[in-house]
Amino acid sequence: MLPPHRVVIAAFHGVELLDVTGPAEVFSVATRVAAGDRSGYRVRIATADGRPVTTSSGVRLIADLTLDEARDRLDTLLVSGAVDVRPDGVQPVLDDQVTAWLRETGPRAARLGSICAGAHLLAAAGLLDGLTATTHWLTAPHLAAVHPRVTVDPDPIFIRAGRLWTCAGITAGMDMALAMVAEDHGPELALATARMMVMYVKRPGGQSQFSVPLAVPAAPGDRIDELRLWIGEHLTADLSAEALATRLHLSVRHFNRLFRRRTQTTPAAYVEAARLEAARRLLQEGDRPLAEVAAASGLGSVESLHRAFRRRLGTTPAEYRRRFR
């Protein structure tokens, strides 16, 4: 039998606890589920000096080795993240020692990944240049602004670009680790691991971090928010700007201006996104023909369904179903 797959997770003071322990638990459970039939994983936590670190929750993590000791035979190297919540917003935490170590060691790892705001450390080390990456939705604008050579997509749960993986906030690290198990050992072991952990197993990398209604913070009593909820419950109704404006007793021009100010998008774009989300869910959860999916989601025809998928997701409904079911 081959030696265990070596996973090293780099941590530092202030790191998010679940950024470290979430993926570690996935790899550990996968090893136990395999029950000796496969090589499994050996997970080690590395810190700058090999001493314990205090996480953002106050829980202390015991390190297994120093960063210098973790340079050899890195099958998978993951860097966890941390954020600093300030009055002016949320900022990613950058650890200079971890960044310097990543710059030297990252290129030698067979597989390299970040959890949550750990993507900012990979970017600071120059390891994301020319690639598409994701991170926590709160820090994605900062990543894009500071590192223009990185194509930042704040929507997916995780993104794989060759040997390099990045994922969204905190719990998304477990989804990414589960996908790594599937890559290493096949979907059967990944599914068995998810069942053991009572994890939701239908969170593929292309799935959005947030549903369409959650993409805009709700404001109690806001007429546009009430309309957005109504739209989600009536996707097959007439949702043209004229019909929606009439529902709110507004002129079309004033309604369009008010909707855009509240949601940062147009009514037509919002409606299409909501209908597309419904179509994605139907494709993931069943075998309904595309014509039924198009009708039930409000997109109307198979042609409209295809156009929406091509324009917004760069794929076809059939291919999406094959990938994410």
Domain count, the chain: 2
Q: Which of 179-188, 205-214, 308-317 has the highest mean pLDDT?
A: 179-188
- pLDDT single digits (tens) 202-228: 454 455 555 565 555 555 568 898 898
- Which residues constitute the domain of residue 237? 213-324
Is the Cα torsion angle 260, 262, 263, 264 positive or negative in sign?
Answer: positive
| pLDDT score of 208 | 57
Q: Say if pTM beats, i.e. exceeds, 0.75.
A: no
**43: which 2 tokens?**
């997970």
Between 277 and 210, the more confident residue is: 277
Domain for residue 115, yes or no?
Answer: yes
SS3 (DSSP) at 90: strand
The band of 154, judged by pLDDT with boundaries at 50, 70 and 90, is confident
- Distance, in Å, from the CA atom of 72 to the CA atom of 82, rounded to the nearest integer, reads 25
* Domain-embedded: residue 191: yes
Rounded to an integer, what distance in angstroms lies between the CA atom of residue 284 and that of residue 296?
14
CA geometry: angle 248, 281, 259, nearest 5 deg: 25
Alpha carbon separation from 72 to 6, 18, 283 (Å, rounded): 10, 25, 43
pLDDT at residue 150 tops 80:
yes
Burial per residue of 190-221, b for 16 or more beta-carbon CB atoms within 10 angstroms, e otherwise: bbbbbeebebeeebbbbbbbeebbebbeeeee
Give me the pLDDT at residue 202, please: 45
User: Are 152 and 221 members of one domain?
Assistant: no
Identify the pLDDT of residue 27: 97
Least confident of 169-173, 214-218, 235-239: 214-218
Nearest to 7 by CA among 173, 128, 120, 121: 173
Task: State percent of the chain over pLDDT 70.
Answer: 92
- The mean per-residue pLDDT over the stretch 290-308 comes to 95
Look at residue 77 and tell me if it is in a domain: yes
Mean pLDDT score, 92-115:
97
Residue 204 belongs to some domain of the structure: no
The pLDDT value recorded for residue 58 is 96
Higher model confidence: residue 36 or residue 264? 264
Q: Are residues 281 and 154 in the same domain?
A: no
Whether residues 165 and 18 share a domain: the answer is: yes
Helices (H), 220-289: 223-233, 241-247, 252-263, 267-285
Arithmetic mean of pLDDT, 6-15:
97
267-285 helix and 252-263 helix, angle to the nearest 10 degrees? 60
Instruction: Answer yes or no: do 157 and 285 share one domain.
Output: no
The pLDDT of 165-178, averaged and rounded, is 92
- Report, as an integer, the average pLDDT of 150-178: 91
Average pLDDT value for residue range 239-267: 93
Q: Please say if the pLDDT value at position 143 is more than 50.
A: yes
Q: Which CATH number characterizes residue 292's domain? A: 1.10.10.60
What is the arithmetic mean of pLDDT over 24-51?
Answer: 92
Q: Does pLDDT of 249 surpass 90?
A: yes
Do 172 and 273 belong together in one domain?
Answer: no
